[in-house]
Each structure stands twice: as structure tokens, then as C-alpha cells.
């Protein structure tokens, strides 16, 4: 227990974080983790209005400010507006987490140009233009950009090729921005493995999948959130890195 009358010093107190796709699932866990470290948090969302309101309430319950901003970051103008609206409501973001993404099965022979373009627009181009706008707002104070990649960036999944391409591009974006924005802004990526399975995923398949992971289980959103928190607070000499949070799956 803390001694009575003393407040716990929070490492990110007073900073503003923007988490794209922050309304639900993994994004919600990340937003709450940063709020727990004292950040005021803006969450970007597209269609999950009710979940966004619930996440804002949960963040505010931690004693910090929160805002939900609707934007389709697949459109560059909307990505830029998300950043500017965050600054208007909470202040310029010092931490940007590019988490928003779409994930769907796209068999090679049946993938359409529209499907391919949408994966690139949301998962990669959106992160690029959010980063571009956020970096301008960070100015001389510096900041952190943390991209949420995927083990699919390095492993070939034949029925998810456009998704894998978008995440592989996000890894290269991480490296490119780390060099382009040094030394004032650090850019790193977290690459989750099996964390949240799709709804309705067959239980026998889930058990086989968990058994194939060296740690013997799938991960939890808090595992990824902890990795994001690390990059938000780590020494600024760490940049351009990709941290796999996958229970050892990519070590095989």
C-alpha cells in the first residue's frame, strides 16, 4: 500500500496520446494502459460509436481526460483531421499509436482490386498520414510513434496476402520513420501474434493453434498493451525496432 497522503507519480502524466482504432478490442486495452500511466487519451474510431463512448468513460474513470474522434483514416484528409481534432480537444499528441486495421480472409484468386486497395489504405496509408500529421504537431518537444504490426508481416498466409502486405509495409514504415524523424521522435512497432481470435473461431482449431505456440497459449490484449507502454516510456535511444509479442511463435 502507498503511504497515506502520497500520490503515485505516473510516468506519462500530462502527455496526450492518440490511439487509432482505440474503441474496442486491442485498441481499448492500449488506450486504457496509457491512461493508467497518466496520459490524456484520444481514441480514433470509424464505426464503433457505442464502444468509443464506453472506452472514453472508462478512461475518464482513471482520472484523466479522454475524447473520441470519428474518422476513416483510409482517407488521408480524415487521417489529418483526426490528429488536428485531437489537438483541438486535448492538446497536441506526444504519443501516436497506429493501431487501426482491417483483417479479413482474402483468397488469392478471389481478391478484388477494391479489397486490396482498402487494406493498403487503412492498414498502411492511414498510419503514414496520421504519423505525418502527428510528427508536425510534436515539434521540438519530440514524441513517440508506435505502430501495431503483426506476425503476418513476416509469415506467409496464402488466404490473407493483402493483409500481410499491409503489415509488412508497416514494418518498413517504422524503420523509415525512425530514421527520418530522429533524433526528436522515436518510432517503434509491436507485432502481436495470436491475441484475439475472430468471433466464432472453432474451439478445436483454437486449441491446436495454442498448442503450436511455444508458450502453450494465445496471448492477451494486456500483453500487447504492456509492450506499447514500454515503447512509450523506454529510453529514447531505442528506435526503429519491432517487438514480437507472440509467445515465441516466430522463434521457430
Buried/exposed code over 86-122 (b: 16+ C-beta within 10 A; e: otherwise): bbeebebbbbbbbbbbbeeebeeeebeeeeeebbbbb
How many Å apart are CA 59 and CA 54, to the nearest integer?
Answer: 9
b or e along 141-159 (b: 16 or more beta carbons within 10 Å of the residue's beta carbon)?
Answer: eebbbbbbbbbbbeeeeee
From the candidates 45, 160, 163, 237, give the one annotated as an active-site residue.
Answer: 163
Order of strands across the sheet that contains 16-20: 66-70, 40-45, 16-20, 95-98, 143-148, 185-192, 242-245
Q: Is 163 a catalytic residue?
A: yes
Residue among 81, 34, 21, 31 at smallest CA distance from 56: 31
C-alpha cell at 57: 468513460
Question: What gap in Å lies between CA 19 and CA 41, rounded to an integer?
Answer: 7
Strand 40-45, strand 16-20: pairing: parallel
Q: Distance between CA atoms of 148 and 174, rounded to whole angstroms?
A: 10
Q: Which residues are catalytic?
A: 163
Amino acid at each position: 500500500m502507498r503511504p497515506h497522503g502520497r500520490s503515485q507519480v505516473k510516468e506519462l502524466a500530462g502527455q496526450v496520446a492518440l490511439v487509432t482504432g482505440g474503441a474496442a478490442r486491442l485498441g481499448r486495452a492500449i488506450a486504457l494502459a496509457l491512461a493508467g500511466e497518466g496520459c490524456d487519451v484520444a481514441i480514433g474510431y470509424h464505426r464503433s460509436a457505442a464502444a468509443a463512448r464506453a472506452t472514453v468513460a472508462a478512461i475518464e474513470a482513471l482520472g484523466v481526460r479522454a475524447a473520441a474522434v470519428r474518422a476513416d483514416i483510409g482517407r488521408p484528409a480524415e487521417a489529418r483531421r483526426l490528429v488536428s481534432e485531437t489537438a483541438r480537444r486535448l492538446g497536441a499528441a506526444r504519443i501516436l499509436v497506429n493501431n487501426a486495421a482491417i483483417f479479413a480472409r482474402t483468397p488469392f484468386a478471389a481478391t478484388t482490386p477494391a479489397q486490396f486497395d482498402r487494406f493498403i489504405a487503412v492498414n498502411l496509408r492511414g498510419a503514414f498520414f496520421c504519423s505525418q500529421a502527428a510528427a508536425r504537431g510534436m515539434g521540438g518537444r519530440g514524441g513517440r510513434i508506435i505502430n501495431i504490426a503483426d506476425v503476418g508481416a513476416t509469415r506467409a498466409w496464402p488466404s490473407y496476402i493483402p493483409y500481410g502486405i499491409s503489415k509488412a509495409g508497416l514494418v518498413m514504415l517504422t524503420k523509415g520513420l525512425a530514421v527520418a524523424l530522429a533524433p526528436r521522435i522515436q518510432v517503434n512497432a509491436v507485432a502481436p501474434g495470436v491475441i484475439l481470435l475472430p468471433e466464432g473461431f472453432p474451439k478445436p482449431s483454437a486449441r491446436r493453434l495454442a498448442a503450436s505456440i511455444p508458450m502453450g497459449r494465445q496471448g492477451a490484449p494486456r500483453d500487447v498493451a504492456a509492450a506499447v507502454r514500454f515503447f512509450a516510456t523506454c529510453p529514447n535511444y531505442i528506435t526503429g525496432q519491432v517487438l514480437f509479442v507472440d509467445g515465441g511463435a516466430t522463434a521457430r
